[in-house]
Structure 1
Amino acid sequence: MTKDMPTWGVVATVDEPPVLVQAFVAWYLSLGAAQVFIYCDRPDDPVQDLLSHLPQVSVVACDEAHWLRVGKSRPRRHEVRQVRNAREAYGRMNADWLLHCDADEYIFPRRPVTGTLATVAADADGLVVPVAERVHLPHASEESIFTGAFRRPFQGPAARRRQIFGPDFDLTYRGLTGHSQGKAFVRKDRALQLSIHRPQPIRPDQQLVLERASVTALELLHFDGLTPTFWVYKLARMLHALKKRDGMPPSAHRSRQAEELMADPDGGLRLYDRLKRPDTQLINLLKQRDLWADPAFDPSEPLARYFPAHPADLRPSAIDDWLYRKKASVLNFLHT
């Protein structure tokens, strides 16, 4: 690695609408990613054909041969599969840094990514990118799954956060419906293991050195709920996995969201609105505390550049149509 011009890559395990994976790949290539690793959780995922023309993209079908090659039979838990794939990509990569994130997470650089990585101290193992979570603006038209603004995690005492957010604060973690930890770039050839949010030490006595990026340099935009129906589907998927003993124990706020959904299976969209559509008063409070971000995020140009033969339909209705075709059993689980 040269300090002046480090290279970087990104890895994700996907079982998503193909257009989302296209957007993910196009966005990261447009930012300068030297390598993009896509692990298809469904071995027959048609997105593999959509990516075959891009030499920077390595696509892996997660069939039984893959799982035996990286360890043992296919893990039951989705999170374990994600981590195992990320660790495999870390061992394969040629780039100097690797970011492990999900297909609904997009870093937004306010200066070039490689320039930010070049400033990380040589003894640092990783760089944590802080998260902001997408919400919807009052009365705004939503022509794309990427429409909206973003709120950052609340700081300060929980009682103060609850006073600002309102009665549904306990259905969030620091005001976000998803995670507030962010995701991390990890430097190549370090004695560590990739995980969901942070690298983990191999030895119990090992100390990892992690820096944290400033939001003026990098921020992770998390579209937790591409559409309201997609958000409900993710909660239903978690409940479905737990019933089959396939899922990781959820965090406290996710458990509370799930309890609300199970108490009113037909009220999932209303629950989404309560949590993800802040009113003007809350928006103003978030702005006053520098917890509001409105970046000019739009993957349309990268999509057109990298997928000229496959126009992307980013309408929310197109994503919902995919869900009803491909994931109906999970959505219907709420009513069984």
Structure 2
Amino acid sequence: MTTRWGLWATILAPAPEILRFAAYHLEAGAHRLFLYLDAENPEAFAALKAHPKVRVTTCDAAHWRKVAGRRPSKHQVRQSRNATHAYRRADDVDWLIHMDVDEFLVSERPVADILSALPADQQIARIRPMEALSGDNTHFKAFIPNGPKRPGTVSEIYPTYGPYIKGGFLSHLAGKVFVRTGLEGIRVQIHNVFQDDEIIEGPEQQPGIDLAHLHAKSWVEWLAAYRYRLENGSYRAELAPNQPRDRGGLSMHELFAMIESEGGEPGLRALFDEVSADTPELRAALDAHGVLRKVDLNLDAIAQRHFPQAKL
């Protein structure tokens, strides 16, 4: 029997970006996409609605009354509620994964083949990220597994800011999680899945698949998103530090606040250039440690194949 997989996502983005994300994963073999538009987007909705493998929902007041009683104020909660809602609707796929619009599954062989080979009692498969270097978004820094060697490796690659940035990533290291469908009592969060309020444990990394994360496509785009991320997103104050505070750990929120207070925007640019700019120096440092990856996602061409009538 063929293994079928799908994904769900809650998205607030321009229509071309949404369609590139959807088309890429249809091309990768997804049988079903559950896409929740966090605001009205008639152009994206029309194109997605017409595709037989896409289930698209505009998250209006009626949707939130049905799913949560009222619209949750935090986007992380909206993501979780929609993901759990999609899981309960997923009756024609064997595996589902929650993703964001700037994340793309990259696999050495068909995703369905990798998932079908997993043991029958394995309920999740964690896909670790690789983070794009800003530029043409074809070079990525790979995930460095946790262990005693990681801090030293990160410090060698990023000598100024590496000790303060977990794994050398501006974005998350946790990755995203495939979960088998048909399980009872499932609640989905952004980076984990719970059953009857107990986290479902599984292997820490699924070989053969990476999560290509375009977290910082360019300095201009990163800076435009920076303030929101600092207050409400992946750099918000409530998130944990990179290491215990008694060992000098800082949260990303604290690190950015310190850099900005001491050096302003040029200070932020210096961090960005060391950690994320697609330069020959950074590529060489990553390559020397075996963590440089090159992948052409080919998003525009793939989107044109699946949504030929759309304006991309």
Is 2:231–2:237's contact at 8 Å kept on the other side of the alignment?
Answer: no
Range with bigger deviation, 22-31 or 151-160? 151-160
Q: Distance in 2 between matches of 1:67 and 1:237?
A: 23
Deviates more, 1:256-265 or 1:185-194: 256-265
- Return closer, same or farther for 1:129/1:51 CA change in 2, 3 Å cut-off: same
Compute the displacement of 1:131 (Å).
1.0
Could you list the per-position Cα deviations for residues 133-168 of structure 1 after superposition, in whole angstroms to 9, with x for gaps in the alignment? 0004xxxxx5xxx53300013342424422331111
SS of aligned partner of 2:34: strand
Look up the equivalent residue of 1:186 and give its one-letter code. V
Residue pair 1:43, 1:62 contacting (<8 A) in 2 also: yes
Aligned residue number for residue 104 of structure 1: 102
Report 1:1-336 matches (<5 A): 2=1, 5-44=2-41, 46-93=43-90, 94-136=92-134, 142=135, 147-155=137-145, 156-191=149-184, 192-204=186-198, 208-210=201-203, 212-214=205-207, 217-241=208-232, 249-252=238-241, 253-255=251-253, 256-261=255-260, 266-267=265-266, 268-269=268-269, 271-277=271-277, 279-312=279-312
CA contact (8 A) 1:67 1:74 kept: yes
Give the number of aligned pairs.
294
Deviation at 1:6, TM superposition (A): 0.6
Matches of 1:95 and 1:248 in 2, distance apart?
A: 37
Q: Do 2:7 and 2:30's aligned partners in 1 also have CA atoms closer than 8 Å?
A: yes
Question: Which amino acid counterpart does residue 200 of structure 1 have in structure 2?
Answer: F
Instruction: Assess, with a 3 A threshold, how the Cα gap between structure 1 residues 72 and 278 changes in structure 2: closer, same or farther.
Output: same
Structure 2 CA distance for aligned equivalents of residues 207 and 133 of structure 1? 25
Q: Deviations over 1:9-38 (max 9, x none)?
A: 111111112211111000011111111111
Where 2:36 maps in the other structure, the secondary structure is strand
> What CA distance in whole angstroms lies between the structure 1 residues aligned with 2:160 and 2:143?
17
> In 1, Cα distance between the equivalents of 2:200 and 2:170?
31
CA contact (8 A) 1:11 1:86 kept: yes
Report SS of the residue matched to 2:168: coil
Structure 1, 280-289 or 35-44: larger mean CA deviation: 280-289
Structure 2 spans left out of the alignment, 5+ residues: 242-250
Q: CA deviation at 1:299?
A: 1.8
Structure 1 residues 149, 160: CA separation in 2 closer, same or farther (over 3 Å shift)?
Answer: closer
Aligned-pair Cα RMSD in Å? 2.4
For the residue of structure 2 that corresponds to 1:249, the secondary structure is coil
CA contact (8 A) 1:134 1:151 kept: yes
What is the CA–CA distance in structure 2 between the aligned matches of 1:39 and 1:166, rounded to whole Å? Answer: 41
CA separation of 1:251 and 1:278: change in aligned 2, threshold 3 A = farther
Equivalent residue for 2:248?
Answer: none
* Counterpart Cα distance in 2 of 1:281 and 1:272: 14
Indicate if the aligned counterparts of 1:193 and 1:200 stay in contact, CA closer than 8 A.
Answer: yes
Question: Match of 2:141, as an amino acid?
Answer: R
Equivalent residue of 1:133, what SS? Answer: strand
Residue aligned with 1:26, SS: helix
Identity fraction in percent: 25
Residues 131 and 212, structure 2, Cα contact 8 Å, conserved in 1: yes
| Counterparts of 1:262 and 1:75, CA distance in 2 | 32
Residues 163 and 84 (structure 1 numbering): CA distance in 2 closer, same or farther, change over 3 Å? same
- Identify the residue that residue 331 of structure 1 maps to in structure 2: none
2: CA distance between counterparts of 1:278 and 1:309? 33
Using the size of structure 1 for normalisation, the TM-score is 0.79
Q: Say which SS state the counterpart of residue 120 (structure 1) adopts.
A: coil
